[in-house]
Amino acid sequence: MNDPVAIITGAGRGIGNATAIELNRRGFAVVLVSRSEPELAQTAKACRTALVVCADVTVQADVDRIVAESLGKFGRIDALVNNAGYAPMLSVEATSPDEFRKVLEVNLTAAFTLSRKCWPTFVKQSAGVIVNVSSMAAKDPLRGFAAYGAAKAGLNILGLTMAREGAPHGIRVHTIAPGSVETKMFRALVDEKTWPREKTLAPADVAAMIAGCVTGELKYTSGEVIYIRREPA
């Protein structure tokens, strides 16, 4: 296997789907990860070389399996895109401790555990790229995003710390923090009357930035948080 390999979580739709297609277009074999096998199958159809791994990134055994199957199929891992997300919009009073933990597990802890699992491979290769998909909510959250905003703020700091620790090993870690993106997850929370399409990014816009980090076009932004938003026309 000579093509570089990228693992993408949340790859069944939205930003993950667009990122898989963009990286595959740029010559990457892609490992497509999410809990929905039908959605992953649709993404795989749009890619030339893809491995589908139906998994829950909050389960350590599944994280281990993602990396094992990736190495078993391709013999290498060059990039990891931590894109899986969960964003309930709930008031502080309506957010139970269990719900708060769930938001952190999907958006923050899973990014750490999967990065940690890929880390020895990156160190052995003396190269690797991690891209964490954060959110504008990390610094300017909508009401109801206490848990989600806190998780993404933590992801920003995690990225900076990992970038500093990874630099001596040739590992880059980038954080992309988009504003509202035209996805099913966003539209489940906010309707078009409240937030028109003119104010949202397309998933492909974010995917292009992620691909730039992975391929090295934005290599000097390792450790930084890149905020992206679309101003209304």
At residue 140, the 3 state secondary structure works out as coil
Q: Are 44 and 8 in contact (CB under 8 A)?
A: no
- Let me know if residue 123 belongs to a domain: yes
Q: Which residues pair with 212 in a beta bridge?
A: none
Pairing relation of β-strands 128-133 and 5-9?
unpaired
Q: Which residues pair with 79 in a beta bridge?
A: 6, 129
* CA-based nearest residue to 146, from 89, 208, 108: 89
156's tokens: 């920003």
The tens-digit pLDDT sequence of the chain (233 residues) is 689 999 999 999 999 999 999 999 999 999 999 999 999 999 999 999 999 999 999 999 999 999 999 999 999 999 999 999 999 999 999 999 999 999 999 999 999 999 999 999 999 999 999 999 999 999 998 899 999 999 999 999 999 999 999 999 999 999 999 987 777 777 777 777 777 777 778 999 999 999 999 999 999 999 999 999 876 54
- Let me know if residue 221 belongs to a domain: yes
Which CATH number belongs to the domain containing residue 85 in this structure? Answer: 3.40.50.720
- Let me know if residue 49 belongs to a domain: yes
- Let me know if residue 62 belongs to a domain: yes
- Let me know if residue 233 belongs to a domain: no
- Let me know if residue 180 belongs to a domain: yes
- Tell me whether residue 86 is one of the annotated catalytic residues: no
Q: What is the rounded CA–CA span in Å between residue 211 and residue 34? A: 19
At residue 28, the 3 state secondary structure works out as coil
24 is in which domain, residue-wise? 5-228
| pLDDT number for residue 216 | 96
Q: How far is CA 15 from the centre of its chain?
A: 8
| pLDDT number for residue 126 | 97
Q: Are 58 and 106 in contact (CB under 8 A)?
A: yes
- Count: domains in the chain: 1
- Let me know if residue 206 belongs to a domain: yes
Q: How far is CA 201 from the centre of its chain?
A: 16
Q: What is the rounded CA–CA span in Å between residue 219 and residue 45? A: 30
- Let me know if residue 191 belongs to a domain: yes
72's tokens: 């078993």
Q: Are 15 and 203 in contact (CB under 8 A)?
A: yes
Question: Which residue in the list 86, 148, 220, 227 is annotated as catalytic?
Answer: 148
